[in-house]
Amino acid sequence: MSENCLFCRIVRGEIPATIVATTDDAIAFRDIDPKAPVHVLVVPREHIRSLNDATDPSLVGRLVALATDVARKEGVAESGYRVVFNTNEHGGQTVHHLHAHLLAGRPLNWPPG
Ligand code: 5GP
Ligand code: ZN
């Protein structure tokens, strides 16, 4: 837990978010500034700074599995989606609490900018 971390505060319910799914160790909620028609963030309840600090590969696997469950629930599993972990500065990470982006609902450019 990190006192002032934005996503820890969302996990604790101190900041409102549109939660779409929860598990024992993760929550999924809509991004406040969506970059695609479906843009959901999947975050562990535990404060982990980035993929570099994710020492439990099974937790990372559960985050990906939850992103996939949400893709199915949102009806985009067949049309397709992208799951991205932005990591540190060059990866474009702005919130330093591990999270996966689930992006879908339109053709996504590749490579990303
Ligand atoms: P990053 O840039 O770290 O990979 O992703 C952080 C994401 O968090 C961004 O897509 C941004 O729009 C989203 N975000 C920032 N502040 C909030 C907030 O208060 N609530 C929600 N739901 N998303 C946020
Ligand atoms: Zn945090």
> Could you tell me the CATH number of the domain that includes residue 69?
3.30.428.10
d(CA 34, CA 49): 22
- State the pLDDT at residue 1: 60
| Per-residue pLDDT of the chain in tens (113 residues, 90 and over written 9) | 688 999 999 999 999 999 999 999 999 999 999 999 999 999 999 999 999 999 999 999 999 999 999 999 999 999 999 999 999 999 999 999 999 999 999 999 999 87
Domain membership flag for residue 64:
yes
Does residue 112 lie in a domain region? no
60 lines ligand 1 (CB under 6 A): no
Active-site positions read 99
Contact by Cβ (8 Å): 66, 84:
no
Residue 31 inside a domain? The answer is yes
Q: Is residue 24 within 8 Å of 59, Cβ to Cβ?
A: no
Q: What does the pLDDT read at residue 77? A: 98
Closest C-alpha to ligand 1, atom 4: 93
- Cβ of 29 below 6 Å from ligand 1: yes
The boundaries of the domain holding residue 52 are: 6-104
pLDDT at position 24, please?
98
If one counts the domains in the chain, the total is: 1
Atom of ligand 1 nearest to the CA of 6: 19
At residue 113, the pLDDT reads 79
Q: Tell me the CA–centroid distance for residue 70 and ligand 2, in Å.
A: 21
Q: Domain for residue 23, yes or no?
A: yes
* CA 107 – ligand 2 centroid, Å: 31
